Amino acid sequence: MSALLEVEGLSKSYPVMERRLFRARQRTEIRAVDGVSFSIAAGQTLGLVGESGCGKTTTARAILNLVQPTEGMVRFEGDDIVPIFRQGDRARILAIRRSLQYVFQDPWLSLNPRWTIGETLREPLRVHRPEAPRTWTARVDELLRMVGLEPHHAWRYPHEFSGGQRQRVGIARALAVEPKLLILDEPVSSLDVSVRAQILNLLAELQDRLRLAYLYISHDLSSVRFISTHVAVMYLGKLVEIGEVDEIFSRPRHHYTRALMSAIPVPRPGAAQTRIALQGEVPSALRRPSGCPFHPRCVAALPVCAEIEPMLPPAEAGHRTACHNPA
Amino acid sequence: MAAAQPLLEVRDLKVHFFTREGVVRAVDGVDYSVNRAETLGIVGESGSGKTVSSLAMLRLVPPPARTVAGQILFDGEDLLTRTPKQMAALRGRRIAMIFQNPATSLNPIYSIGAQLTEILTWHEKASRRDAEPRVIELLGLVGISDPATRLRQYPHELSGGMRQRIGIARALLCNPSLVLADEPTTALDVTIQAQILELLAELQARFRMSMVLVTHDMGVVARMATRITVMYAGRVCETADAATIFNAPQHPYTRALLESMPRIDHSYAGPARRVLPSIPGRPPNLLNPPSGCRFHDRCPEAQVECRRLLPVETAVAPGHIVSCLRRGSPGIVA
């Protein structure tokens, strides 16, 4: 199966001035995303997991050029789209944006409170389908039904809706222009448990019906297990492990992935859970450890880990791990 | 010790918010108890009344809310009849609280040392000099390295996990008999959450404290709680020991809640369509709660009577309390 989206060596650095006592200020950089590569085929979901600050959201934003990538390629249907954004060719940028849409985490902040739901859903049509204004209303009705709302909801304002309904609107807005890939950034994290299942079911159903590809970003591993076909794990801006969902969950090989999985409290009282204790906390991206960025906290670190950075094997191998001493 | 008196008993507690739009019955007739040296997990979705009922125990419900009825018996004494001065002497000393967000529950303009020693100088009339060794000892206990240096640091210099450790040390300074922990790990990353939960369990066993753990995360209560109370729309659905809640839940809401969670130990891959059993609709607006059983309009087992009668909490087995007409609870017209 050929990939819809291929990301290769994607990096995003931010320049910072570092101040340290008794030393001149130093120009340095934070590598928020560092050489990330993966691909997603139509109808598939890549779950991108990791803890806060690991670069998940920056990766997503760099794909859409919401932040400009420092390095790397983002190929969509075979074309590298990074230079297209850089050249600023509006017609081609719009075409890419039609295919790649974003669903935001917080449905309270991502809808304009002064617009009715109908206006919110017509906006992408106004931008991307300006030639056929007569079709907009019918399309808005169709979109609302697709996400389990009613056409009369188009007249309401966001404050009249619950969190779950707002997230349905957020999904409808992303679907308005018939995208091929949705970037879902923590779409259920702010929702209550009983509503979370409804939204996850909706996402699964829409994917099957429309053959959508998803990049699903979350720190909630149980929802990742439900929605994903593949999983990629990030730590300090790097991909440390990637593979098929059941492979990653039942046979995790990177010691960070193993620690992450074992840290999730299983809803089974008295469950014999052997937690792989992680010492300390994620180091600051400014003081990235030498060699493998995880080695100071790793239970299986070897002397080589402090010196040589392990690389993720090339894409041909199915389940890949950037580790000198995998489990 | 047969039938030892519980440390805390909440009886028919009602906390209502008197808003311009009307009376919001956030907590509407709730009963639960906490035994000595146990952890009671209170689970529920947002708006179920779990946080408000725990704030009521400290008499800290914010206006426009008021505790309108009920009893909160702590060591046999009703806290609701105490004077504000008596409450102030009790808060932080005998009942302490660990808050959800360690970033906002510490004062940004005071050093860690100043905030922690203040508790001892206030409650135990200790001098700052005498208080400091105790503070340092506790910081060491909660796993903070080099506590003497940390005393002079400010909250912004610490990570989220470190701040929550400070929050725990602050709660334990006066050796309280009851600790209320409201979503203590929700703001933290999972690996840090695991560290903090481990620490809480260890300290609880060591000091034989009672703990009320308020959370929406079923995984967290499974890990921590001795007994669990499930709340929905300001009422208790079910209370039982942790194993019963997870292995043999009786209330339809408890069952639906457990089933609707994706499982990390379950494979969903394959050609079959992925569907989670979900609860239709959404939690009710408590300004105008559903008549009868609060869950009836989302309940798969609801009958006509559920719309009319409010179920009363009833024991279906020793220590297992359910409020559901379909499980034999009597109903009252409310």
CATH code at position B235: 3.40.50.300
* Closest chain A CA to residue B187: A52
Token representation of residue A213: 């590809």
Q: Which residues of B touch A225 (CB under 8 A)?
A: 262-264, 266-268
* More confident position, B133 or B187: B133
Same domain, residue pair B108 and B90: no
What are phi and psi for residue B236, nearest 5 degrees?
Answer: -85, 130
Token representation of residue A45: 């979901």
Helix residue ranges, H only, A129-213: 136-146, 163-175, 193-210
Same domain, residue pair B37 and B182: yes
C-alpha separations of B170 from B87, B131, B134 in Å: 18, 12, 11
Say if B317 falls within a structural domain.
no
Same domain, residue pair B106 and B141: yes
* C-alpha span between B223 and B315 (Å, rounded): 25
Same domain, residue pair B61 and B183: yes
Same domain, residue pair B43 and B145: no
Residue A104 has pLDDT above 70, yes or no: yes
Say if B199 falls within a structural domain.
no
Q: How high is the pLDDT of residue A238? A: 93
Mutation test of the interface with chain B: which of A221, A227, A264, choosing the one with the most B Cβ atoms within 10 A? A264
- State the sign of the Cα–Cα–Cα–Cα dihedral A197, A200, A202, A204: negative
Whether B223 contacts B211, CB under 8 Å? no
Among candidates A197, A260, A270 on the partner chain, residue whose Cβ is nearest the Cβ of B191 = A260
* C-alpha span between A65 and A58 (Å, rounded): 10
Mean pLDDT to the nearest integer, B264-274: 80
Residue B1 has pLDDT above 60, yes or no: no
Mean pLDDT to the nearest integer, B214-226: 92
* C-alpha span between B284 and B293 (Å, rounded): 12
Q: Which of B111, B71, B79 minimizes the C-alpha distance to B95?
A: B79
Q: Which residues of B touch A201 (CB under 8 A)?
A: 274-276, 278
Question: Distance from A190 to chain B by nearest Cα, in Å?
Answer: 10
Contact B263/A278, CB-based, under 8 Å? no
* More confident position, A151 or B46: A151
Say if B46 falls within a structural domain.
yes
Same domain, residue pair B213 and B74: yes
Q: How high is the pLDDT of residue A1? A: 52
Domain boundary, last residue among B122, B149, B173 = B173
Say if B146 falls within a structural domain.
yes
Question: Distance from B184 to chain A by nearest Cα, in Å?
Answer: 14
Contact B264/A222, CB-based, under 8 Å? yes
Please give the DSSP secondary-structure letter assigned to residue B35: -
Same domain, residue pair B160 and B181: no
Q: How high is the pLDDT of residue A273? A: 64
Residue B2 has pLDDT above 70, yes or no: no
* C-alpha span between B235 and B240 (Å, rounded): 15
Digit-coded pLDDT (tens) for A106-117: 877 889 999 999
Domain boundary, last residue among B173, B196, B231 = B173
Say if B193 falls within a structural domain.
no
3-class DSSP state for residue A250?
Answer: helix
Digit-coded pLDDT (tens) for B277-301: 888 888 888 888 899 999 999 999 9
Token representation of residue A145: 């039904």
Q: How high is the pLDDT of residue A286? A: 77
Same domain, residue pair B76 and B105: no
Which domain does B130 fall in, by range? 100-173
* C-alpha span between A184 and A206 (Å, rounded): 13
At a CB cut-off of 8 Å and minimum separation 6, what does B182 contact?
B51, B54, B97, B98, B99, B100, B214
Contact B193/A263, CB-based, under 8 Å? yes
Q: Which residues of A touch B46 (CB under 8 A)?
A: 192
Same domain, residue pair B89 and B217: yes
Q: How high is the pLDDT of residue B255? A: 94
Q: How confident is the model at residue A272 (pLDDT cuts 50, 70, 90)?
A: low
Whether A26 contacts A20, CB under 8 Å? yes
Question: Distance from B154 to chain A by nearest Cα, in Å?
Answer: 18
* C-alpha span between A64 and B244 (Å, rounded): 48
Same domain, residue pair B86 and B117: no
* Closest chain A CA to residue B269: A229
Q: How many domains does chain B have?
A: 2
Same domain, residue pair B119 and B48: no
Say if B330 falls within a structural domain.
no
Q: How high is the pLDDT of residue B190? A: 86
- What pTM was estimated for this model as a whole? 0.89
Same domain, residue pair B68 and B181: yes
Contact A269/B192, CB-based, under 8 Å? no
Digit-coded pLDDT (tens) for A3-52: 899 999 999 999 887 777 777 777 888 889 999 999 999 999 999 999 88
Digit-coded pLDDT (tens) for A206-223: 999 999 999 999 988 999
Say if B133 falls within a structural domain.
yes
> Peptide bond preceding B64: is omega within 30 degrees of 0, i.e. cis?
yes
What are phi and psi for residue A213, nearest 5 degrees?
Answer: -100, 145
Buried b (16+ CB within 10 A) or exposed e, A84-114: bbeeeeeeeeeebbbbbbbbbbbbeebbeee
Say if B224 falls within a structural domain.
yes
Average pLDDT, chain A: 90
Mean pLDDT to the nearest integer, B162-176: 91
Domain boundary, last residue among B145, B173, B201 = B173
Complete domains list, chain A, with CATH: 5-253 (3.40.50.300)
Residue B171, H or E segment: helix B160-172
At a CB cut-off of 8 Å and minimum separation 6, what does A279 contact?
A297
